[in-house]
Amino acid sequence: MLSDVNSQFFTQIISTQNIIRSKNLVSKLTGMGLVFKISPGVVPTENDYYEGSLHSAFQSRLICQRNLSLGEVGCALAHRRAITSFLNSEHKFGIVFEDDAEIIVDFDFEMMTKLLDSDCPVIVALGWIPGFAISRNPQDLIDGEPIELATSPTCAFAYALNRSAAKLMINNQKRLIDLADWPIYALMKIKFYAIHSQSPWVTANHDPEFSIIGKRSDSISVSPISVFGNRVKLANSLVLLLLLSSINLLDASPRQVIHRILIRDMIYRYGKSKYSEQENTRNVIPLSLKYQKALDRLKLV
């Protein structure tokens, strides 16, 4: 069985300078008999970053509502490199880890293979941060059954994907326009799954002091003036992105734009309202029936 798994899955750990920050990733993968390769991390130069050869500062600022950091650009390029290596291999499926991933339980490769063995683009999220993912199904979730998600999970530190999804993720664009964490041009085209309703298989240490990316953004002010200003900025960005999409200057459809800018954040806020860090839960949360019906009518999930 293990030799068959290794013939089907191309497993990689993204690591800068061959340093594995995880306490158990290598030992757990070895214990499962999974062969893996190191995919070199990317550390862009400041010259490349500021001259704009790596990413579109204008489009990424509209999409992310802030400037991408040098580390975030490097992280996205590193994922693109790992996914390209998978596509250049003979394997049917790929698994990608960032080097701070920590494995919680051994993998069910049979279940993962059933999900990925499809002509449709599929990504299986092996973990998510902070502690929840959102199910597309508003009904109660059955233990032990894979779950289709309403939108991409937070963070991309551990995932499995098939070749169709890999092609969408790398997109053949010369410059980045979004984060590594499920870019805008992949949304609503890729089906995302979680494996278990009560817990992911993998977690990670995303402390800014530990991360090679560092702190992702400044704290958000909650003053009425700042909130109003942020909403005006969001509305302006949405209008500009829809315009760029309509004249084919943005590689994303209008529905993808609306999902990335409005719907995904709305779904995340819903999840956060149901999630308690004090309980240390890592559950998949069913989307409410009210939200599901509205999004189905609008065809935005």
Indicate whether 174 belongs to any domain: yes
Task: Choose among 130, 157, 203: nearest CA to 13.
Answer: 157
End-to-end CA distance of the chain: 36
Domain-embedded: residue 95: yes
CATH number of the domain that residue 120 is part of:
3.90.550
Q: Give the pLDDT of residue 114.
A: 94
What pLDDT was estimated at residue 210? 54
- Residue 133 in contact with residue 202, Cβ under 8 Å? no
What range does the domain containing 262 cover? 2-211+221-298
Q: Is residue 185 part of a domain?
A: yes
pLDDT at 209: 58
Asked whether residue 153 is domain-assigned, the answer is: yes
Mind listing the pLDDT tens digit for each residue in 94-104? 999 999 999 99
Distance between CA 161 and CA 96 in Å, rounded? Answer: 8
pLDDT of residue 296: 84
pLDDT of residue 222: 59
Q: Taking the CB of residue 139, how many other CB atoms lie within 10 A of it?
A: 9
Q: The tokens 């757990």 sit on which residue?
A: 28
Q: Is residue 61 domain-resident?
A: yes
Task: Indicate whether 245 belongs to any domain.
Answer: yes
Residue 216 lies in a domain: no
pLDDT value at residue 211: 60
Q: Which pLDDT does position 283 carry in this prediction? A: 83
pLDDT tens across the length of the chain (301 residues)? 566 999 999 999 999 988 899 999 999 999 999 999 999 999 999 999 999 899 999 999 999 999 999 999 999 999 999 999 999 999 999 999 999 999 999 999 999 999 999 999 999 999 988 778 999 876 666 666 789 999 999 899 999 999 999 999 998 778 999 999 999 999 999 999 998 777 889 998 766 555 656 555 554 555 777 777 888 999 999 999 999 999 999 999 999 999 999 999 999 999 888 876 546 566 888 888 888 888 888 888 7
- Which pLDDT score is estimated for 264? 94
pLDDT score, position 229: 83
Residue 157 forms part of a structural domain: yes
Task: State the sign of the Cα–Cα–Cα–Cα dihedral 122, 77, 126, 106.
Answer: positive
pLDDT of the residue at 245: 97
Structural domain total, the chain = 1
pLDDT in tens, 144-174: 678 999 999 989 999 999 999 999 999 877 8
